[in-house]
Structure 1
Amino acid sequence: MNTINTPVLLSTLAISFIAPSFVFAETANETPSMVIYGVATPEKHRLTDITPVVTVDRDTFEDQAGGQLITDIVKRLPGVYTGGAPGENKDVRIRGLDKEFSRVELDGIQLPDGGEKRELNINRIPASMVKEIKLIRNSSAEYEADGLAGRIQIELRDIPLQQQFEMSVSAGGQNNLDAEGKQLSLTYGNRINEQFGLQGTFSLIETPLIKSKNKYNEDGLALKSETEEKSIENLTAIWDLAYFYGDGDSAIHIKPLYIKDNEQKTKLINKFDKEGLSVKSTESEYEDKTKETVGLSIGNIHIFNELTQIDSKLGYYRTTEEKDKNKQKGKNKSEKEIEDKEDAFWQGDIKLSHRWHSGFKNDFKTGISIRQRERHRNKDKYSNGEFKAGNAKDNYRIEEDYSAFFLQNKMYLTDAFSLQVGARVEHVKLVSFDTQDKQGGSSQTDILPSLSANYKINNSTAFYASASQVLNRPKFDEITPFENEEKGEVTIGNPDLKTAKANAFDLGVNFVTDPLFLGINLFYRDISDVIESRATGDSINDKPVYQVQNVGDGYLKGIELEQRWALRSLNITIIDQFTITANQSFIRSKLENEDGSTTPFKSQPNFIGNVIVDWLHPTAYTRASLALNYISDIEVNEVNNGQESEAYLDFKITQPIGQYWSVYASGNNLTNVERVKLKSNGDKETESTGRLLWVGLNGKF
């Protein structure tokens, strides 16, 4: 695919449908308008937001193209793409940076997960339980500072005032509708009386995945072929049990949570001779992985009066992951890996909000947060049934204590101009252990100021600016005191790693009317203490020593454009039921290397674009949605491997049947994208997973 023309095409398309709308915007506001997705202007909050936040609510995403997990929503946020195989969409990568620079919260908690990079696999979270999703581009003092690229916040649905029951059942498959994929979702909510309410969601999703990989050398000769069949099962149950008191606005919430994922995969690998014609060796692999997350939080919203309230929450969350992998190499060699992980923490938060006046209105907030975490990982390896010492990096235990305090005040200096100042203090004490109980540790305190401003120029246009200091904490397996000898070199851990830090700046303008939204955001991150593996200059057993260290500096910058246009503003009957939503992100970065040269951050595309076309039939109420997601190529150089550009096309069509029921059909990765990875040595690797198709039935009562 042409890596230059596609971004230009997406940008041109956006500009082409924006330009005429200025002519019709005033006319459209004078006449009644149809609400396409429940709210006429879903971006209206942008005119008053003091920090740059992108919000997608349930009314917007419920009938848009995609499947049952929130990955289909998150991957269309501006500047975001997801990791994993084509169409698999496992983890979040904000502004093109690797997943280690992004953070994801569910109901205000960054859930523990199995990954070493502090990421949360978002393909674990069903969309049926979600109220809205926020992309926080620049953090205020109120939020945890970890994650220098940005944060995704997933908010759960509120308890409805009246009894409400929803169900969804569907079947699907890869490249066909053979029903190997299954989905069931049940959601019930009810405000039973003035004092009690509850809401619960149960979701079960089984997804088939067949993945093929092929590797070629620079002359195009086959080196390796790989076929993987994987069955993925996701089970999620979450409840919100509430007691309301006072005037009914104060409440105590008890929220139990359970998420279980099971992956079973079989892999067959063929390696070819140097001519690439015949198979010289064969390997088979079977893996069974189970990941469970359990949690319980007790929260209280206590409203003293219309000016003052306290929000508090205490929760415990634990994720365990067990993996059993067996390999057979030829007839005479077998390998086995048994791995278990556990990541658990207690977290307590309390926040005071108070509105006061000093000639103008002020919203003051202050709060504290405490988290005590313990994480361990153990991996044992066997060769032909005999125990074999594994990688020391894979066996560790970590204790991490986090505490934070913040002050923040938002001042409404005029009806049009607001200013927010804040400061957050975060302290982390870390103790790490290897398998021999060798101990390392560090302690770090960061004072993190923030400043934001919003100026509402008129009823449809607002200007904002935001500056803060943000952090990026090290990966878990980098901060243990391990020593590992492998492949002619020795690698050692570094418990003394400091967090990377960035000065974060965002500047932008939003234009919002009923039929039209335009947004532009410029961002810059001045990053110091970037963490990378470097040669220490020492040697052990005549082998060079490498260690992850705080090294050079870097930057991340770019521009993010957003558009939404309800075509009814053109008063052309044939197209007045269409709404087009689009965004384009142009990204650049630089990182210093060991030899003084500079490269972009690893795995970063220069352009990410989305176009979503939604349509509603005026009488049959048929809804259709088509979404295109484009990721430009990733540069290959001596430091990083590269990747060719990709374009994904998803769709969904929904037809109501009577008052309560609707049927739908959806498809992911209709373009059957083949991922092409390019290596610095000239090798090429292709990976494909095919299309995922679903048909289903929804009910709302």
Structure 2
Amino acid sequence: MKRTALLLGAALAPLAFSGVAQAQSSAVQPEPETSVEEVIVTGRPVFRNRTEDTVPTLSYDLEYFQRFEPLTVGDALKRVPSVTFLSDVLESDGVRLRGLDPGYSQILINGERVPGGGVDRSFFVDRIPAELIERVEVVRASSANRSGDAVAGAINIVLRDAYTLDGGYVRLGGILFPGNELGGTYGAVYGGQVGPGRLLIGTSIQDRINPKDKFSARYARPNGPLVNTEVQTDVRDSTDYSFNAAYEVEVGGGKLDLSGVFVRTERLQDEDSLEYRNGIRTEANLLTVNDNDVDIETDNLALRARYERDMFGGETRFKLGYASFDDQQSEFENEAEYLRDAIPFPEEDRFTADFVITDLLDEELSGAIEHTRPLTDSIDLEFGVQAIRKDRESITDEAARVRSTVPNAPAPRPVQPPFVFARSVYTIEETRIDPYVMLSGEQGALKWEAGLRYETTDATIAGFDTDYAELLPSASLRYSLSERDRLTLWAGRTIRRPDFDDLAPGVLEEERGDNDFRGNPFLKPELAWGIDAGFERRLGRSGVVGINAFYRDITDLSEDVNTGVQGSGGAGTFIESIDNVGDGQVYGVEFDLSTPLDFIGFDKTGVFVNVSLLDSTVEDALGERRFNDQSNFVYNFGFTHDIPSWQAAFGATYRKQGDAFGRVFAEEVETRYGADLEIFIEKQLTSNAVLRFTGSNLLDTKKEEVFDKFADQDAQISRTYDEYELETEEANPVYQVVLRVAF
């Protein structure tokens, strides 16, 4: 509640001095770009925008996603090129842009970095409700005036600002989740003139329930005897609460923008499983009964202030921001083991219990001073300095594993031993100061930019100090071949900083399966030289087709290595670590098309197609492979059709993601996903109300994983199996009915 109050106060603070601001400025405010009626009206297909950015960027307005009523930003991103996920079915959390690990992508909100809970600095996009979006930008390359943590690219989530709406609307909906679970979605947004400036304020509450069925079959080796099977139910029950506000006002001859967004996610994860000997599902063959519950409360808060004013022969911008990620989790796991000794069930039960409580708080304070001024009639100079201070603290209270053997007879049964908690505290302090300089210009058909960014990092992780600095040059150009055709080209250098846990010198027991893990405080960041080259053509009045090829040469690649030292599990276990082992290359081709079919007389029908062919090369101890868990392709296509005479519309989208393969020390996993089909049907009821029905996961998508497990790397090379496992996960469709009413 304190953070909510802080956000509200920050968003509405200008109202306190609106009289002063009114006296200081008589400038006429521009009209809002989008009215409420345009948000809910039917009658025309909506496609991606053709941006004027020099850096290759794809932009998609809210209307592109809204008709399919995505619940989260992650759900929305499934319809844009080159975005893959390696999540559970119906989950879209860590963005794998171009198929790479989430740590290679940068997630921005309104152009600014946001902290996340991952040790790889990644941010889970399913934590942001889709209702907050104004548009989503896929930024395929970096610029000198933006953080260089974007080897794969960046996703910029642009939230509604104070000039988005003039008026307001409410959103009311019901959701039927798998297993006949019912949920709701409710929201309201208002935008208008308040005092001397414009205010936008919005709030939403929505449920997300994801029940899945899982089945695992474990064999001694491929085509070998069946050892055991596991039947599991997995239910993720979440409620998201969000509040956002923005205020823009003229102050002191300049423009002041204040904005804030707060999102709370309350989530319960309940996994229950039964394990059977030889796959025979009878009581006599019951091996284990496992109950694993995780109670999660996550708060995301972002506050931004921006002031821009003409001075010193150009425009100067002052930025100040605060962002935090607060994640509290309580996990309890209880497993009853049978058939582990000579006394079978039901004569004896053996229990193993674990209880872990974690509290992670990641805070970032950012600031920037930037200045842009013309050097000539066609060339601009931009320079500035951006700074970020990160403080991250993770507190873990973990009970020592409690084991007890409880005979069923005779009574009374012994009492399970109490939990004894041990606390560990893991702190991170990081300071970044990044100056940059950039030139940009436009001469006739050519638009270009070129710049240098110098990123410095000074961090203290678990008491160990590390610092480094890197120079990141970049250049891009856009050349218009005609009014319809243009070429884009980018080249530059980007960086991926090491994961926090990889730098900590302590030993984490059984962190890599049965093996321990020890961090490497001397680990260097990965650096990448890259290039993007694209062609884009306008089709008709509003259509666009594009093709883009990319290449990244990554040096100082970080991979797990075996120290050869025996681990805490005794003989056959080891202490693993991580090191800069070599280089890797990532490359691919991306195609996208979105256009009305007006060239064949169907101007109310729009189609879209996105196809990305992805590949990479890296060497490890077993030979050549792709980057771990990179899908080899992802595509989606669909259509929308408007019927203005009926004030109605309908459409569908189909998505498929290719196989992913990952190989680490003593374990390999291949992941396959089924296809996903979504539909919508909408009807405008009155001039200010629209009713929409959507269905997603209509093909009962499956996730299938194949695990090859070995005792050590020598066994992995010789293919001497410790275990071979096949796991399948499946969920049923989700249906929504949503009513939007404008006022």
TM-score normalized by the length of structure 1:
0.87
Q: Name the residue aligned to 2:192.
A: 190
The 1:480/1:40 distance shift into structure 2, 3 A limit, reads closer
CA distance in 1, matches of 2:374, 2:653: 42
Q: Is the 8 A contact 2:90 2:210 kept in 1?
A: no
| Equivalent residue, structure 1, for 2:306 | 299
Question: Take 2:137 and 2:71, find their aligned partners in 1: how far apart are those partners?
Answer: 18
Unaligned runs of 5+ in 2: 1-40, 337-348, 403-417, 710-723
Residues 29-88 of structure 1 deviation map (CA, whole Å, 9 limit, x = unaligned): xxxxxx98879874332xx4311111101243332x242322232122111112321121
Counterpart of 1:15? Answer: none
* Secondary structure of 1:204 counterpart: strand
Counterpart amino acid of residue 187 in structure 1: V
Tell me if 1:91 matches 2:94.
Answer: yes
Aligned pair partner of 1:683 in 725, 730, 733: 725
Amino acid at match of 1:664: R
- Distance in 2, matches of 1:163 and 1:36, equals 18
Q: How does 1:225-264 map to 2 (within 5 A)?
A: 225-245=231-251, 250-264=254-268
- The CA distance in 2 between the partners of 1:601 and 1:387, in whole Å, is 41
Aligned to 2:408: none
* Equivalent of residue 627 in structure 1, options 646, 650, 653: 653
- Please, which of 394, 398, 403 is the counterpart of residue 381 of structure 1? 398
| 1:224 and 2:230 are equivalent in the alignment | yes
Q: Does 1:664 align with 2:667?
A: no
- Residue 696 in 1 paired to residue 738 in 2? yes
Which residue number in structure 2 is paired with residue 154 of structure 1? 157
- TM-aligned CA distance change 1:552 to 1:228, over 3 Å: same
SS in 2 for 1:551: strand
TM-superposed CA distance for 1:276, in Å, is 3.9
Q: Per the alignment, do residues 636 and 133 of structure 1 end up closer, same or farther by CA in structure 2, a change over 3 Å counting?
A: closer
Q: How does 1:266-345 map to 2 (within 5 A)?
A: 266-278=270-282, 279-304=286-311, 308-330=314-336, 332-345=351-364
What is the Cα deviation at residue 370 of structure 1? 0.6
Distance 1:161 1:275, change over 3 A: closer
Give 1:612 shift.
2.2
Residue type matched to 1:309 in 2? E
Which residue identity is paired with 1:453? L
- 8 Å contact kept, 1:86–1:673: yes
Aligned-partner Cα distance in 2 for 1:645–1:451: 37
Instruction: Give the distance between the partners of 1:228 and 1:161, measured in 2 at CA.
Output: 40
1:463-612 equivalences under 5 Å are 463-486=487-510, 489-513=515-539, 514=541, 516-538=543-565, 544-571=574-601, 575-594=602-621, 597-612=623-638
Q: How does 1:450-461 map to 2 (within 5 A)?
A: 450-461=474-485
Deviation per CA, 1:400-454, whole angstroms, max 9, x where unpaired? Answer: 1111111111122x31012211110100001111xxxxx2121110000011111
2:461 is matched with which residue: 427, 432, 435? 432
Which one is further off, 403-412 or 481-490?
Answer: 481-490
Counterpart Cα distance in 1 of 2:586 and 2:658: 17
Secondary structure at the counterpart of residue 601 of structure 1:
coil
Letter in 2 for 1:50: T
CA pair 40-674 structure 1, distance change in 2 beyond 3 A: closer
**Deviation at 1:161?**
7.8
Give yes or no for contact 1:587–1:606 (8 Å, CA) kept in 2.
Answer: yes
Q: CA deviation at 1:191?
A: 2.2
SS class of match (1:530):
strand
What is the 5 A alignment of 1:38-53?
42-45=48-51, 48-53=52-57
SS of 1:683's equivalent in the other structure is strand
- Contact map agreement 2:678 2:696 (CA 8 A) in 1: yes
Aligned residues of 1:308 and 1:355 also touching (Cα < 8 A): yes
**2:431 aligned with 1:401:** yes
Corresponding residue SS for 1:50: coil
**Residues 673 and 40 of structure 1: CA distance in aligned 2, closer, same or farther (over 3 Å):** closer
Distance in 2 (CA, whole Å) between partners of 1:80 and 1:489 is: 32
Instruction: Report the alpha carbon displacement of residue 256 of structure 1 after superposing the two structures with TM.
Output: 3.0
Looking at structure 2, the residues matched to 489 and 661 of structure 1 have their Cα atoms a distance apart, in angstroms, of 58
Cα distance in 2 for residues equivalent to 1:199 and 1:409: 35
The secondary structure found in structure 1 opposite 2:123 is coil
Within 5 Å, give how 1:99-114 maps onto structure 2. 99-114=102-117
Structure 1 gaps, min length 5: 1-34, 434-438
1:547-604 Cα deviation digits (max 9, x unpaired) = 1111111000000011122112112xxx442110111111110112135x22111111
Match among 353, 356, 371 for residue 352 of structure 1: 371
The 1:275/1:130 distance shift into structure 2, 3 A limit, reads closer
Larger Rg: 2
Percent identity over paired residues? 21
Task: Please tell me the root mean square deviation across aligned C-alpha atoms, in Å.
Answer: 2.4
Structure 1 pair 653/356, CA: closer, same or farther in 2 (3 Å)?
farther
CA pair 297-161 structure 1, distance change in 2 beyond 3 A: closer
Quick one: structure 1 residues 518 and 146, their matched pair in 2 at CA, closer, same or farther if it must change by over 3 Å?
same
State the Cα deviation string for residues 255-308 of structure 1 (Å, max 9, x = none).
233211111122211111134443221011222111112332222122459x83
Q: Measure how far apart 1:489 and its partner are.
A: 4.3
SS of the residue aligned with 2:644?
Answer: coil
Distance in 2, Cα, partners of 1:312 & 1:138: 25
The AA in structure 1 aligned to 2:354 is E
Decide whether aligned partners of structure 1 residues 117 and 287 sit closer, same or farther in structure 2, where only a CA change above 3 A counts.
Answer: same
CA separation in 1, counterparts of 2:309 and 2:69?
38
Structure 2 CA distance for aligned equivalents of residues 161 and 135 of structure 1 = 21
Equivalent position of 1:423 in the other structure? 452
- Tell me, yes or no, if the aligned pair for 1:41 and 1:512 is still in contact at 8 Å: no
TM-score computed with the length of structure 2 as normaliser: 0.82
**1:161–1:190: 8 Å Cα contact kept in structure 2?**
no
